[in-house]
Amino acid sequence: MEAIAIQGRARLRGRVAISGSKNAVLPIIAACLLTGDECYLEDIPRLADVDTMCGVIGELGARVYPEGINGLRISSGFLEKVEPPYEYVRRMRASFLVMGPLLARFGRVKVSLPGGCAIGARPIDLHLKGMAALGAKITVNKGNVEAEAGSRLKGAQVYLDFPSVGATENIMMAAALAEGTTTIENAAGEPEIVDLANFINAMGGRVTGAGTRVIKIEGVKELHGSRHAVIPDRVEAGTFMIAAAATGGDVLVENVIPTHLKAVMAKLAETGARLEEEEGGIRVRADLPLKAVDIKTMPYPGFPTDMQAQFMALLTTARGSSMVTETVFENRFMHVNELKRMGADIVIEGHCAVIKGKSKLIGAPVKATDLRAGAALVIAGLMAEGETTISCVHHIDRGYENLVGKLQALGAEVIRTEI
């Protein structure tokens, strides 16, 4: 089994370039199914999840080719199926995003109930509610969702009970080819939503309001191919910013969009870290120990749930007591027991975790239970005294391109190994 071994207490210093966004590229790959023309995608991160999504559309009959250094050329002109394989869908929840494009283009789809990280129920009811509002007949049977829409979906008003990112994306893609206008109220406003809307519009779609709580999609009869560069990964950027502060380092995080990181930057500044926007990036410097702060995860533009675990790792050695409140997913504290193995003082009370900062963590064998938990353990290992060995690193590979190489370039003593 592969693992990551870290010799801690090294202060990160230097420059790191952030890759394209995992959470943006996955729905954009799915959106390529909306047209039979070729699409060209740039700044694609080399990740296990990207390989999985390419595998999903490839099994449907799409043709996926590497293009340049970090690009993909996708042609969906000869799709053979409207049922993605269970093997892929159970592995990654984002595979469910092919539902909207397939339903919009072919009028029918059959997809298994999704899998992914075990961080909570993350029900698909909002996805199905949106498809039903657009005129699809939905049937759930034996672990599969079947949807039929006849010749064409119909525009409608859709109100989301919660601003779900995945549901907003799926409905937006389905509505792109619907007859009439669709309005999504209480829509998610994450930057990845805006990136998907920009891609759909580049294909000839008519999406307005992306990034706000009300998105309008005027359906068109067909979309054409386009070229699109994916936005930088704000979660990867935030992870390196937290790692820089947590180790008392000095790191310039390059290829970022600062407005996407306001909540993380504000909380890092509260801890005493110094942040400066420089040409091409954000410089993070810190002197240890940092100060304790409270955080509460919220839909964008609030503090992102995808940064909660990493920030908690930083708080384990901050001066004073902190409280982390998780409001998005009910099971996103699985990293706590692993951090406690390293000496962290954390008590969970319902949706809150109380962290009493200690002078240091001690390296130990730990296990990545999900993607962001794995990133948190990497940060903890960088902070800790002695060696930390992190197993189940396939979770980390789902969302971080060349994490070990990038950390090595910043001076960390970290390697991939076998255990």
Task: Give me the active site residues, please.
Answer: 117
Tokens of 157: 């008003």
The verdict on whether residue 123 carries a ligand-binding annotation is yes
The verdict on whether residue 22 carries a ligand-binding annotation is yes
d(CA 310, CA 408): 19
* 232: CB partners within 8 A, 6+ apart: 18, 19, 20, 21, 43, 255, 256, 257, 260
CA 152 to chain centre: 31
The verdict on whether residue 49 carries a ligand-binding annotation is no
d(CA 28, CA 227): 11
Burial tier of 161 (Cβ tally within 10 Å: 0-12, 13-18, 19+): exposed
The verdict on whether residue 23 carries a ligand-binding annotation is yes
The verdict on whether residue 101 carries a ligand-binding annotation is no
The verdict on whether residue 6 carries a ligand-binding annotation is no
Cα distances (Å, whole numbers) of residue 195 to 169, 232, 243, 264: 10, 10, 27, 20
* 64: CB partners within 8 A, 6+ apart: 54, 57, 58, 72, 73, 74
The verdict on whether residue 397 carries a ligand-binding annotation is no
The verdict on whether residue 122 carries a ligand-binding annotation is yes
d(CA 344, CA 262): 27
The verdict on whether residue 124 carries a ligand-binding annotation is yes
Question: For tokens 């049922």, what's the residue?
Answer: 83
Residue environment code for 376-402, b if the CB has 16+ CB neighbours within 10 A, otherwise e? bbbbbbbbbeeebbbbbbebbbbbbbe
The verdict on whether residue 125 carries a ligand-binding annotation is yes
Annotated binding site for UDP-N-acetyl-alpha-D-glucosamine: 93, 122-126, 306, 328
Can you say which residues are annotated as belonging to the binding site?
22-23, 93, 122-126, 306, 328
Binding residue numbers for phosphoenolpyruvate: 22-23
